[in-house]
Structure 1
Amino acid sequence: MGVAGRVRPGAARALLLLLPLLLAAAVPPRRGRATGPLEDVDECVQGLDDCHADALCQNTPTSYKCSCKPGYQGEGRKCE
């Protein structure tokens, strides 16, 4: 601090230059970042879906779809 509460121009400039480095140091690094395409998880095969017992599960690249079996009606998560 300078006279009467003023910040010296050099100190302000130094703070502006150091601020990004200080913020980067405060954020923990991410671990296990993907370096290529992610492997698809087949929720249907692994039993991770919430499709109704009377529905068919279809794996998609990023998720899955449920559809009622022939003879049943509904949106796949509840079939009657």
Structure 2
Amino acid sequence: MISSEQILIQIEKQVHKAKIETNEQSTREALVAIRALCDVVLDSSATLPPVLSTVPTSPKVSTQSSVLKEDDANGESLFDF
């Protein structure tokens, strides 16, 4: 993960570049880079959820089958009439 200190160093480099450029297009490119670097820092600090270690749980299914006993049933199968 990139630290915010490293990003701030890159922002300073882009600010210096924007100050010395004489071409308006190059100055705008440096400013866009500064904006992008700022967005990276702001988005990463705002969108990091707290780290939770959760394990998805599945409902427990009983493997034992219970046979229903009815007076008019012929067997254990659903199709036994």
Greater share of helix:
2
Structure number with bigger Rg: 2
- Tell me if TM exceeds 0.5: no
TM-score, structure 1 normalization:
0.33
TM-score, structure 2 normalization:
0.33
Greater share of strand:
1
